[in-house]
Amino acid sequence: MTRGLVRGAIVAGVALAALAAGVYFSQMGSRDPPVAALLGLSLPDVDGREQRLDQWKGKVLVVNFWATWCEPCRKEMPDFVRAQADSGGKGLQFVGIAIDQPDKIRQFSNDLKLNYPSLVGGYGALELSKTFGNELMALPFTLILDRNGKVAYAQMGPLKPGNLDAIVGKLL
Amino acid sequence: MDCAPISTGLSPKPLRTERSLRSRYGALVAALLGTMAMAATAAGAELLPAEQAFRFSARALDDRTLEARFSIADGYYLYRDKFTFVVAPGGAVLGAPELPPGKIKTDEFFGKVETYRGTVVVKLPLSGAAAGQTVVLTADSQGCADVGVCYPPTRQKLSLALPAQGAGPGALVDATPPKKSWFK
């Protein structure tokens, strides 16, 4: 009986330790300095309202660095609009960070009927993408964060629609 | 170190790490090869730094004319309406740059867009500078690569000694001298 209790206590202890480790490691993602810097960003939207990126914590977050003067960026954005419409309800959230002027961002957002926010980022925001491997600060650059704020995918250059669906599908 | 698998999506041949990522043990392999995947990004994309993709050089034809030159690598292009040239020190002023016509294509958002490939030579009228003086020419340009990425506006700078009167054009000066390589 006593041996059973001891064994039970050991099992419980190990389980507790594993749980603690799991919680600890699941939080590691958001403690990742580049992610923390990204989620701590506050950038104005096209109407001048400051938007913090951590307001979307807990969602599968797709952060897309783009510009209206970047043709390859504009080409892939209809796929983002479609994915946002299809999977927004399941916890998918796209956020654009445009390295551009607000009036141009607004015009393009209206033209495309953008259904997710596009924030106005400057050179500093683009420089942040370097910490995720975008050494040349090229556009488009897309980061996909899982619900724990851990980088699940990063890509320089346009995402293939099939790729996007496959990556996001696994995280939702 | 927390390092996500980074794909460039640019290389025609998938990187070794990318292929691995598609395997059943993708997540594990990604974690193990995290550092390697990051290193592979820079190499795998084979994307040139902007200063090498759009190599800027210039020379002074005389004390009233500068000639800026962009040597654009194959597979890259520059936008004609995105150039800005500035000369220093104060007192020296540039007139309107004489940009040659570019290749026109229709952009659904911007309408007609002119781009350059190969070599572009731009004449810059200069005033307020004296023969023999050294000026600093700063050029902002902006372009993209055919693989589907664009660069942010790139600033390049060089110093030019204006030739003495009647001395003929000065030597061509590179903003980014070609890097020495063991493999060339």
Res A78: pLDDT: 95
How far is residue B177 from each of residues A29, A39, B36, B51, measured CA to CA in Å?
A: 41, 39, 30, 10
Quick: pLDDT tens for B17-50: 333 334 444 444 444 444 333 333 333 458 999 9
Chain A environment of B109 (Cβ under 8 Å): 68, 74, 108, 111
The pLDDT of A132-151, averaged and rounded, is: 95
Mean pLDDT of A17-25: 50
Contacts 24+ apart (CB under 8 A), B175-179: B175/B51, B175/B55, B175/B56, B175/B57, B175/B58, B175/B139, B176/B51, B176/B52, B176/B55, B176/B56
What is the tens place of the pLDDT at every residue in B1-12?
Answer: 445 556 655 543
Helix (H, G, I), strand (E, B) or coil at B170: coil
The C-alpha torsion from B150 through B155 and B161 to B162, rounded to 10°, is: 80
A24 with A104, same domain?
no
Query: What are the sequence ranges of the domains in chain B?
Result: 1-46, 50-164
Regarding whether A88 and A12 lie in a shared domain, the answer is no
A109 interaction partners in chain B (CB closer than 8 Å)? none
Whether residue A136 and residue B49 make contact (CB cut-off 8 A), yes or no, is yes
What was the pLDDT predicted at A79?
95
A66 & A100 share domain: yes
Answer whether residue B181 shows pLDDT above 90.
no
Q: In this predicted model, which residue has the larger pLDDT, A3 or B87? A: B87
Phi, psi of A136, deg, nearest 5: -90, 0
Residues A95 and A46 in one domain: yes
pLDDT of B46: 80
A164 and A131 within one domain:
yes
The band of A8, judged by pLDDT with boundaries at 50, 70 and 90, is low
Among the listed residues B154, B39, B176, the one whose alpha carbon sits nearest the alpha carbon of residue A139: B154
pLDDT tens for each residue of B127-179: 999 999 999 999 999 999 999 999 999 999 999 999 998 889 999 999 987 66
CA distance B68 to chain A (A): 23
Would you mind telling me the total number of residues written for chain B in this entry?
184
Q: Kindly report the CATH class assigned to B50-164.
A: mainly beta
- Co-location of A63 and A76 in the same domain: yes
Report the pLDDT value the prediction gives residue A22, as an integer from 0 to 100. Answer: 46
Is residue A10 located within the same domain as residue A71? Answer: no
Task: Tell me, yes or no, whether A14 and A44 share the same domain.
Answer: no
Give CA–CA dist A57/A140, Å, rounded: 23
Which chain B positions have a beta carbon within 8 Å of A114's beta carbon?
A: none
Q: What is the reported pTM?
A: 0.76
Task: Provide ipTM, 2 decimals.
Answer: 0.78
- Nearest Cβ partner of A133 from B6, B82, B151? B6
Interface contact A159-B9, CB threshold 8 A: yes
Query: Among A13-22, A137-146, B78-87, which stretch is predicted with the lowest mean pLDDT?
Result: A13-22
User: Which residues from A are below 8 Å from B23, CB to CB?
Assistant: none
Local structure of residue B64 (DSSP, 8 states): T
Q: Which residues of B160-173 are buried (b: 16+ CB within 10 A; e: fewer)?
A: bebbeeeeeebeeb
State the average pLDDT for chain A: 87
Instruction: Provide the pLDDT for residue A3.
Output: 62
Task: Residue B47: list chain A partners with CB under 8 A.
Answer: 136, 138, 156
Least confident of A8-12, A161-165, B159-163: A8-12
Q: Which of residues 13-72 of B touch A (CB under 8 A)?
A: 38, 41-42, 45, 47, 49-50
* CATH number of the domain enclosing A118: 3.40.30.10
- Asked whether the beta carbons of residue A139 and residue B149 sit closer than 8 angstroms, the reply is yes
Phi and psi of A44, rounded to 5°? -75, 145
Q: Does the distance separating the beta carbons of A108 and B151 come in below 8 Å?
A: no
**Of the candidates A33, A84, A24, which has an alpha carbon nearest to the alpha carbon of residue A60?**
A84
- Return the higher-pLDDT residue of A99 and A6: A99
- Given this model, what pLDDT does residue B26 score? 43
Tokens, residue A27? 């939080």
Q: Do A70 and A123 lie in a common domain?
A: yes
Q: pLDDT tens digits for B101-116?
A: 999 988 877 889 999 9
A74 reaches B (C-beta below 8 A): yes
pLDDT exceeding 90 applies to what percent of chain A? 75
Number of domains observed in the structure of chain A: 2
Say if the Cβ atoms of A153 and B2 lie within 8 Å.
no
Residues 36-65 of A with CB under 8 A from B: none
Percentage of chain B lying above the pLDDT 90 cut: 62
Mark yes or no for CB contact A156/B9 under 8 Å. Answer: yes
Rounded to 5 degrees, what angle do the CA atoms B96, B106, B123 make?
Answer: 20
User: Structure tokens of B154?
Assistant: 């790139």
Report how far apart the first and last C-alpha atoms of chain A are (Å, whole number): 45
Residue A46 and residue A125 in one domain: yes
Residue B100, pLDDT above cutoff 80: yes
Structural domain range at position A25:
1-29
